[in-house]
Structure 1
């Protein structure tokens, strides 16, 4: 079964690249996650790979880019990205996503927002139709350290169950992002696709919230690797 799931991840990633990476695409966003490993592999197999520049969303994707012999770039150099591929912690029926389980949500959203096309690649466990159904750890929020206590209070008033993400057992104290901020995980239980934007806007309006792990209306397509080895393509 595990081999079949891994096969489906590879097939989903290869399909996503083969069907969406065009000859005129030169700047490519590469995300993170077990399925995106195969995205980087497939991009690294392109005949014109020497002409491509890849923008990472974090340390793992940097390594994927380097390991596949691709040219590493940055958002500071390239404000516009032709296409970006990334994983997701959960995907709903409208392709809204929860991301940030690995604490890279700000960089991930920067890359997705800079891309003309944003493609999700994931396995079937992430495709639940409603956010908060299987990802019960809560939506990750990147917050300024000085504001965490105030934001915890505001999130509770909004109906969420929030806590600062601990770095234990590897690190005493909170997880610190690449940007020097804290991560708060806030569980709002299951949130209908029609209500995600309103909730996201309310959280973003809290002073001290840098970014949320709700990716609302950003993805054009999702390639889902199924347990039987097949691939489902979702679009909005």
Structure 2
């Protein structure tokens, strides 16, 4: 069993009959979906799936899940999603796919938000090894960039890579990427950036994840929220 499969199967055990289940996007969440399909077929597990993205909606249809669109529900009993990084304090970086605004709405709607990942995404403490996305309305990007510079963060527009032009989010906006320094107050940074006019959201998730299921060579490691 590979690491992602180990994490996905273990995390799917949290779902019980009658739950409204948020399903995020990515290769590890795919294993959650596969295990929920198995449990539905073998154990008669019944639940309502709520996909966070169009590709996941297609998977729900393909697997015969009863589902609702995100805009049609006001809360989720549990939600699963992947990440770019997760640390020992359940601080999370998301937004490699430039969908962090919807992903944060999705996560905050859940009574229990579960990160599923393999150990390549796990670090003891978040640092500057991956980009942190800031979603910005187009007309504000220069002023936001100047404000980020004053906060001590150099930023760059995210290019599409495989095609000409910039990455455009599902909300029709653009992305400025920054790098963490590794010693900052993450909550203060989150609050400072999201208060800038023209910013929709930043891809750091602080105090949102309830646990993380991390696949390793030795099975699944579970990181729980420290309640003290």
TM-score for the superposition, normalised by structure 2: 0.91
Q: Retained in 2: the 8 A contact 1:91–1:97? A: yes
Q: Is the 8 Å Cα contact of residues 142 and 211 (structure 1) preserved in structure 2? A: yes
In the other structure, the counterpart of 1:199 is 189
Matched length:
222
1:157 to 2:154 alignment:
no
Question: Cα gap change, 1:206/1:133 in structure 2, threshold over 3 Å: closer, same or farther?
Answer: closer
Distance between the aligned counterparts of 2:98 and 2:54, measured in 1?
Answer: 11
- Which residue of the partner structure matches residue 161 of structure 2? 168
1:40-189 correspondence to structure 2 within 5 Å: 40-47=33-40, 48=44, 51-135=46-130, 138-170=131-163, 172-189=164-181
The answer for the alignment partner of 1:190 in structure 2 is 182
Q: Could you report, residue by residue, the CA deviation over 1:47-75 in whole angstroms, capped at 9, with x for unpaired residues? A: 345x4222222233223322322233112
d(CA) in 1 for partners of 2:213, 2:170: 28
1:21 to 2:11 alignment: no
Give the unaligned 5+ runs of structure 2: none
Q: CA RMSD in A?
A: 1.6
d(CA) in 2 for partners of 1:139, 1:191? 15
2:209 matched to which residue of 1? 219
Distance 1:16 1:161 in 2: 37
Structure 1 unpaired stretches of 5+: none
CA 1:107/1:142 → structure 2, altered by over 3 Å: closer, same or farther? same
Change (3 A) 1:67 1:190: farther
Q: TM-score with structure 1 length normalisation?
A: 0.88
Asked if 1 retains the 8 angstrom alpha-carbon contact of 2:18 and 2:47, the reply is: no
Using the TM superposition, give the Cα deviation of residue 189 of structure 1 relative to its aligned residue in structure 2, in angstroms. 2.8
Equivalents in 1 of 2:12, 2:169: separation in Å? 29
Of the structure 1 ranges 143-152 and 126-135, higher mean CA displacement relative to structure 2 is found in 126-135
